[in-house]
Structure 1
């Protein structure tokens, strides 16, 4: 209690000084609250345990990449059956998706359904997201290194299709614009303009879906009109491996933005309750930067 008998004001990042729980004005729970009693990631005293889902996702990714390596090694050397690698890659993909979905459920969906519980540190989520993105750089880096080895050989390869066209330019403009709209959406939220925040966030979601549709159409044109597929030599493997991995990241980002839109409609965000928005924004800007590097190295670089 403060002097004069007045109660301590609520702390947006945790309980009151006297240990009691609190709500923000209007009865709205803080953004990252969730009823975690009885859940495996918290004990009865509210101490947060480490989530198992990132470890599961990492194990799945290892199975996916290991399976792809075994399949390629088996096809090129005959030391291992290629189908063994395919099976391992399929299992790894399933485990990876399960880990990602579990992570999404724990970090975004569960707090949206629950009304109160243990608060979570904004700094913890942001720093964890930055760590994840730092490790994700190595995933893209491995495929870029593979592409660099492809370029060491005779160039251009026979299977090289016309890569630079209006479609990739439009798709690039769409993704860059979506990053801009996300930035200003977050600024609107911090300024307390909820209507503008929702409008710009919805625009970002729409642009992300347009980008994915454009990539699907590009694949369709390459396969049907050019006969250019994943099996079209080492360059085909590099091209579809890099663009497919990036497209997978965009799809995950679109899913995250869709959850943000849903939670915004439920009134879960405010100037001081933006943890999920900050983390998804970091991820989306990362995906945008990777695409610009990919266009410069793969589309433009392969055409010169």
Structure 2
């Protein structure tokens, strides 16, 4: 932007020009305004997808590229591929014993590294470094919905496997007592966590920060308790019932579905823990709820999948 005087002014008169401020690689600006302050700098704290203090930039022209989703996808492929190879080896004995297990372990490490890097880049870095978020709230929400839509296929593959098992001789082997008080209590806990998360978000939108913190912390505790209940259920099945992932085709389907869901719950618990960490530092408000909205969508999806899983796997196996 340049200021020019009228053509009638002499060369000795004002002919000043104001150059545009240099732009940082993260999209921010450090130019000096007319009052001596630093343009684009927010003295009140970090800016990002959850902050109303956004610099005057064109978000439509901003592109955010990340390698972490690709890293996570490669890790997930290694995990699923390794599990499939391990099962194939167990049934046929054609492959070395540690190939599938080793691939699954490496895949798990890469997957967790990708997820950790993704979470840090999207949610933690803006709060820690004051980086500028280039995507709108709607962009994050719609991207989350797209991810959840694709995630349906992951669960769908295992559900289809279970449905094929049900088409054959049923039951394929002796089944343990699946539908007991433990799964009922665990289901109630997970549904309660979805309710507390919903009202935590409402409290944030109403500006009630204390209620928001209390309900969000309650959601985190309920998620951890659910995971503990699932681990205890696995212990009971393996130690007392002799029912494990190698217990025939139903054992593979049962632990594949419940284990995949438990993994999703663990990721959700990690996301809620990040929300709690940021909420305690005052990063959220009625107009700064992007992270809360996206993690909330994920958590409600996980709850819905669990209800469907219980009806199909636990209740369905007993009829």
TM-score w.r.t. the length of structure 1 is 0.85
Matched, 1:192 2:207: yes
Q: What is the CA-CA distance between 1:224 and the residue it aligns to?
A: 1.3
Deviations 1:9-41 (A, max 9, x none): xxxxx989x994264xx824445379xxxxxxx
Contact 2:205–2:285 (8 Å) recurs in 1:
yes
Of residues 32, 37, 40 in structure 2, which corresponds to 1:21?
A: 40
Q: Match of 1:10?
A: none
- What number of residue pairs does the alignment pair up? 277
Of residues 247, 250, 253 in structure 2, which corresponds to 1:232?
A: 247
Q: What is the CA-CA distance between 1:158 and the residue it aligns to?
A: 2.5
Matched, 1:53 2:68: yes
Matched, 1:216 2:231: yes
Q: What is the CA-CA distance between 1:223 and the residue it aligns to?
A: 1.2
Matched, 1:104 2:154: no
TM-score w.r.t. the length of structure 2 is 0.81
Query: Against the structure 1 CA distance between its residues 116 and 88, is the aligned structure 2 distance closer, same or farther, given a 3 Å change threshold?
Result: closer
Q: What is the CA-CA distance between 1:90 and the residue it aligns to?
A: 1.7
Of residues 22, 27, 49 in structure 2, which corresponds to 1:32?
A: 49
Matched, 1:168 2:178: no
* Partners of 1:296 and 1:128 in 2: CA distance: 29
Which protein has the larger Cα radius of gyration, Structure 1 or Structure 2? 2
Of residues 313, 316, 319 in structure 2, which corresponds to 1:298?
A: 313
Q: Match of 1:65?
A: 80
Q: What is the CA-CA distance between 1:193 and the residue it aligns to?
A: 0.8
- What's the secondary structure of 1:201's corresponding residue? helix
Q: What is the CA-CA distance between 1:117 and the residue it aligns to?
A: 3.1
* Partners of 1:288 and 1:254 in 2: CA distance: 12
The alignment's C-alpha RMSD in Å is 2.3
Deviations 1:196-247 (A, max 9, x none): 1111101111110110111111111111111111111111111111111111
> If each structure's helix is expressed as a fraction of its own residues, which one has the higher value?
1
* Unpaired segments ≥5 residues, structure 1: 1-13, 35-45
Q: What is the CA-CA distance between 1:139 and the residue it aligns to?
A: 0.6
Q: What is the CA-CA distance between 1:271 and the residue it aligns to?
A: 0.6
* Partners of 1:285 and 1:173 in 2: CA distance: 14
* Partners of 1:79 and 1:135 in 2: CA distance: 33
* Partners of 1:15 and 1:108 in 2: CA distance: 18
